[in-house]
C-alpha cells in the first residue's frame, strides 16, 4: 500500500447484516470503526456467537491509532471483550456506549487496561491523522451517531445505524442541521452507508406511532402480558413502559441483559420517567390483568427469559391460558424456524401470540428508501459505499445512489480494499477476512472440521463399529455394530450377523502390512459398512471405528482368568 491514498476496508458487515468492523487508512495508519459480533444459526451446532477474523489489522496493530464505536448494539461493540486484547488500541465512544461497554467488561481483566475516551455529539476529537466528530442520529438505542472524518481529500461520512424519527421516545431528534450544513459547504467526498432497509419503500415510521398502537394492544389483552424485544432497544423499552402505564399495568423486567441495559440507560440520564418496577419474585402474586413483563428472547434464544418461560424452565415466571405474548421486533433472517417453534409452543399453552404481522407493534431502527433519499439531498455525497447489508441490499443501494445524485457507487464486500481518493473510487485489492466461532474460550474458524462433523452427525447420525484383534490381525470376536440416529439395526437380525461376518472376511483378506495399520483397517471397515448397508452418497453417517489390539501377554492373562 502506498503512502498517500485514502482507503476503506470492511472486515465485517459488508455482504451481511451484523458483525460490523471497518477500517479507514491514510499514510499507512489505520482507524477502526466498530467491532461487532453476529449470532450463529443451525449451520454451527453448539455455537452462539461469531467473531470477525481481524488477522489483517492484528498484524498491523502497531499502525492502528484507535477504535471508534458508533453505538452500543452487539453487532457494533460485541466483539470488544473478546478481541480488544489483540489490538490494544484506545477507544472513542459516546457516554451511553461507554456505560454499556463497561458493564459488559465488568468480569473481564481487560476493563482496567482499555484507554476509553468519552465524547459528546459535536465535540471534535482526533484519532491519528483523522479529525473526527460524532453527529447524533435517532436509532433504537440512545446516542447512535454518524461519524464524520476530515481527510486531506475531503470529508467522509460513516452513517452507522440511523433513521429519521420526528418524535423519538428516547433522546433528541437527529442533528439535521449538521447534515444540511455538510451539503451547503461542499458536500461529502464519500458516504459509507447503512443498507439494511434499502429495499423498503417509504419511511421506517416513528416510535411515537408505536406508543399509540402498543397502548391499545396491551389494554385489549384480558390477562397477563409478556412483551419481548431486544434488550438493547432502549427506545422500545421506554415505549413499552409508557404504554403499560397508560393501560393500567405494572412492569417487571425479566432477563439479566434487560436489567443491565436499563441500568446503563438510567446512569446516563435516560428512562427518568419510567414507572417503579416490580420484582419478578412478586409477579405471580399479582392479578394477571395488572402485569406486563418486559422479557428478553425475541429471537427465541434458548437461554433467554421467554424461551425458559415457554418451556417451563423459569424459576419464578409461568404463563397461563389466556395470557398474551407480544413480539415487538423483526425476525432476524435465519431465525424463522426457531421463532415459529416458540410461537407454536406458546399457542399450545393457550397463550395469544401477537407479532408485527397482525398488529402495529414494531418500527425499524434503520432508514427506508425515502429517508435515504433525503439524506442524499442533504449531504450530496460524490461517492457512496453501501455497507450493513446482504449482497442483495448492497447491489440495490449502489443503483439507488447513482439514481439519487451520487457520481460514483462502489460495491464492496468483506476484505475488499477500496481506494476512495485520489482519483475515481475503486476496489484496488483485498485482505484476508473470515469468521471465527467462540467456544470454550477458544477461537475456531467456522469451517473447522469440528463443525463439519457436527453437521454430519446432526443430519445423518453415527454408526459405531468395534473390532478386537490379536497382534497378528486376526479377529478374536464378532465385530459389534450399533447406530445412533442413523440406520435402524436389529441386534438379533440375520442381516446384522451377516455384516459382522462380512467384516471378518474383509479383515482376513487384508495384507499383513495393512492389517497392522489402524488407519487402513478403519478405512476398509468404513467402505465395507457403506457397501453392505447400501448407503447412498446423500446418506453418509459418521462411522466411528474402535480397534482393540490384544498382545500375547494380554491374551494369556484372559485365558488364565477364563480357566
309-357 tens-digit pLDDT: 999 999 999 999 999 999 999 888 778 889 999 999 999 999 999 999 9
Statement: residue 217 has pLDDT above 90: yes
Min mean pLDDT across 124-138, 419-433, 466-480, 544-558 is at 544-558
477 DSSP 8-state letter: S
Structurally, the chain folds into a number of domains equal to: 3
Are 179 and 38 found together in one domain? yes
Confidence of residue 1 (pLDDT cuts 50, 70, 90): very low
Q: In three state form, how does the secondary structure of 488-541 look?
A: CCCCCCHHHHHHHHHHHHHHHHCCHHHHCCHHHHHHHHHHHHHHHCCCCCCCCC
Question: How far is Cα 70 from Cα 77, in angstroms, rounded to an integer?
Answer: 9
DSSP-derived pairing of the beta strands 225-228 and 154-158: unpaired
Count the Cβ atoms, other than its own, within 10 Å of residue 295. 26
Are 183 and 114 found together in one domain? yes
559 three-state secondary structure: helix
Which of 382, 416, 445 is the last residue before a domain boundary? 445
Higher-confidence residue: 281 or 49?
Answer: 281
Are 45 and 129 found together in one domain? yes
Are 522 and 477 found together in one domain? yes
In a domain, 454, yes or no: no
* Cα separation of the two ends of the chain: 79
Are 28 and 175 found together in one domain? yes
Statement: residue 562 has pLDDT above 70: no
In a domain, 1, yes or no: no
274 DSSP 8-state letter: P
Are 260 and 301 found together in one domain? yes
Statement: residue 21 has pLDDT above 50: yes
Statement: residue 2 has pLDDT above 60: no
Confidence of residue 187 (pLDDT cuts 50, 70, 90): confident
Are 331 and 248 found together in one domain? yes
Are 20 and 156 found together in one domain? yes
Are 12 and 161 found together in one domain? yes
Q: What is the CATH number of the domain that holds 267?
A: 3.40.50.10710
Which pLDDT score, from 0 to 100, does residue 492 have?
56
Higher-confidence residue: 34 or 477?
Answer: 34
137 is in which domain, residue-wise? Answer: 6-202+364-445
Q: Would you state the cell numbers that stand for residue 395, as one nine-digit string?
A: 447491489
Are 224 and 308 found together in one domain? yes
Which of 354, 379, 408 is the last residue before a domain boundary? 354
In a domain, 359, yes or no: no
Confidence of residue 487 (pLDDT cuts 50, 70, 90): confident
As a whole-number percent, the residues of the chain with pLDDT over 70 amount to 96
Torsion angles phi and psi, residue 130, rounded to 5: -95, 125
Are 32 and 177 found together in one domain? yes
Statement: residue 455 has pLDDT above 80: no
Q: What is the CATH number of the domain that holds 465?
A: 3.10.20.580
Which pLDDT score, from 0 to 100, does residue 442 have?
74
Neighbouring residues of 412: CB distance < 8 A, sequence distance ≥ 6: 8, 10, 14, 385, 387, 394, 418, 427
**Residue 560 near residue 553 (C-beta atoms within 8 A):** no
Question: How far is Cα 121 from Cα 74, in angstroms, rounded to an integer?
Answer: 21
Query: In whole numbers, what is the pLDDT of the chain averaged over residues?
Result: 90
Statement: residue 124 has pLDDT above 70: yes
Question: How far is Cα 97 from Cα 563, in angstroms, rounded to an integer?
Answer: 76
Are 11 and 145 found together in one domain? yes
Higher-confidence residue: 490 or 124?
Answer: 124
In a domain, 451, yes or no: no
Which of 298, 319, 354 is the last residue before a domain boundary? 354
Q: Kindly report whether the global pTM for this prediction surpasses the value 0.85.
A: no
Instruction: Quote helix, strand, coil % in the chain, to nearest 5.
Output: 35, 25, 40
Over the stretch 395-444, which tens digit does the pLDDT of each residue have? Answer: 999 999 999 999 999 999 999 999 999 999 999 999 999 998 887 777 87
Amino acid at each position: 500500500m502506498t503512502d498517500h491514498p485514502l482507503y476503506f476496508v470492511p472486515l465485517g458487515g459488508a455482504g451481511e447484516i451484523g458483525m460490523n468492523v471497518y477500517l479507514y487508512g491514510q499514510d499507512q495508519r489505520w482507524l477502526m470503526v466498530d467491532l461487532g459480533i453476529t449470532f450463529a444459526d443451525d449451520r454451527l451446532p453448539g455455537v452462539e456467537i461469531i467473531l470477525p477474523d481481524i488477522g489483517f489489522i492484528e498484524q498491523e496493530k502497531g499502525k492502528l491509532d484507535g477504535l471508534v464505536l458508533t453505538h452500543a448494539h452487539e453487532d457494533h461493540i460485541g466483539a470488544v471483550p473478546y478481541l480488544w486484547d489483540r489490538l490494544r488500541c484506545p477507544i472513542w465512544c459516546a457516554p451511553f456506549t461507554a456505560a454499556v461497554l463497561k458493564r459488559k467488561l465488568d468480569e473481564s481483566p481487560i476493563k482496567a487496561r482499555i484507554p476509553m475516551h468519552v465524547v459528546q455529539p459535536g465535540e471534535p476529537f482526533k484519532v491519528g491523522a483523522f479529525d473526527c466528530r460524532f453527529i447524533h442520529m435517532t436509532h433504537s438505542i440512545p446516542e447512535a451517531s454518524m461519524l464524520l472524518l476530515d481527510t486531506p481529500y475531503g470529508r467522509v461520512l460513516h452513517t452507522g445505524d440511523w433513521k429519521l424519527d420526528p418524535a423519538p421516545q428516547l433522546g433528541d431528534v437527529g442533528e439535521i442541521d449538521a447534515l444540511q450544513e455538510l451539503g451547503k459547504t461542499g458536500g461529502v467526498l464519500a458516504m459509507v452507508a447503512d443498507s439494511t432497509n434499502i429495499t423498503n419503500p417509504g419511511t421506517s415510521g416513528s416510535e411515537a406511532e408505536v406508543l399509540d398502537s402498543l397502548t391499545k394492544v396491551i389494554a385489549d389483552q384480558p390477562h397477563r402480558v409478556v412483551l419481548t424485544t431486544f434488550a438493547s432497544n432502549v427506545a422500545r423499552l421506554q415505549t413499552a413502559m409508557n404504554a403499560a402505564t397508560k393501560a393500567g399495568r405494572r412492569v417487571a423486567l425479566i432477563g439479566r441483559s434487560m436489567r443491565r441495559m436499563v441500568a446503563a440507560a438510567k446512569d446516563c440520564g435516560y428512562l427518568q420517567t419510567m414507572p417503579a418496577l416490580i420484582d419478578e419474585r412478586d409477579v405471580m402474586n399479582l392479578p394477571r390483568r395488572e402485569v406486563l413483563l418486559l422479557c428478553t428472547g425475541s429471537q427465541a434464544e434458548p437461554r433467554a427469559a421467554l424461551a425458559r418461560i415457554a418451556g417451563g424452565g423459569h424459576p419464578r415466571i409461568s404463563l397461563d391460558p389466556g395470557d398474551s405474548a407480544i413480539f415487538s421486533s423483526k425476525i432476524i433472517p435465519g431465525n424463522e424456524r426457531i421463532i415459529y417453534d416458540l410461537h407454536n409452543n406458546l399457542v399450545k399453552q393457550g397463550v395469544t401470540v401477537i407479532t408485527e404481522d397482525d398488529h402495529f407493534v414494531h418500527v425499524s431502527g434503520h432508514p427506508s428508501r425515502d429517508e435515504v433519499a433525503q439524506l442524499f439531498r442533504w449531504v450530496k455525497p460524490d461517492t457512496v459505499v453501501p455497507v450493513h447489508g446482504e449482497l442483495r441490499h448492497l447491489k440495490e443501494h449502489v443503483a439507488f445512489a447513482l439514481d439519487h445524485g451520487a457520481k460514483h457507487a462502489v460495491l464492496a464486500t468483506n476484505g475488499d480494499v477500496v481506494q476512495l481518493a485520489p482519483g475515481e473510487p475503486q476496489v484496488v485489492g483485498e485482505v484476508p477476512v473470515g469468521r471465527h466461532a467462540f467456544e470454550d474460550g477458544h477461537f475456531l474458524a467456522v469451517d473447522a472440521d469440528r463443525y463439519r462433523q457436527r453437521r454430519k452427525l446432526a443430519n445423518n447420525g453415527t454408526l459405531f463399529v468395534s473390532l478386537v484383534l490379536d497382534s497378528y490381525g486376526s479377529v478374536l470376536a464378532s465385530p459389534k455394530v450399533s447406530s445412533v440416529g442413523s440406520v435402524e439395526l436389529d441386534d438379533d437380525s440375520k442381516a446384522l450377523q451377516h455384516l459382522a461376518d462380512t467384516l471378518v472376511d474383509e479383515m482376513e483378506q487384508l495384507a499383513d502390512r495393512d492389517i497392522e495399520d489402524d488407519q487402513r483397517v478403519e478405512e476398509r471397515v468404513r467402505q465395507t459398512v457403506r457397501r453392505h448397508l447400501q448407503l447412498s452418497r446423500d446418506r453418509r453417517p459418521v462411522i466411528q471405528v474402535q480397534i482393540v489390539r490384544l498382545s500375547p501377554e494380554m491374551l494369556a492373562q484372559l485365558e488364565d482368568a477364563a480357566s
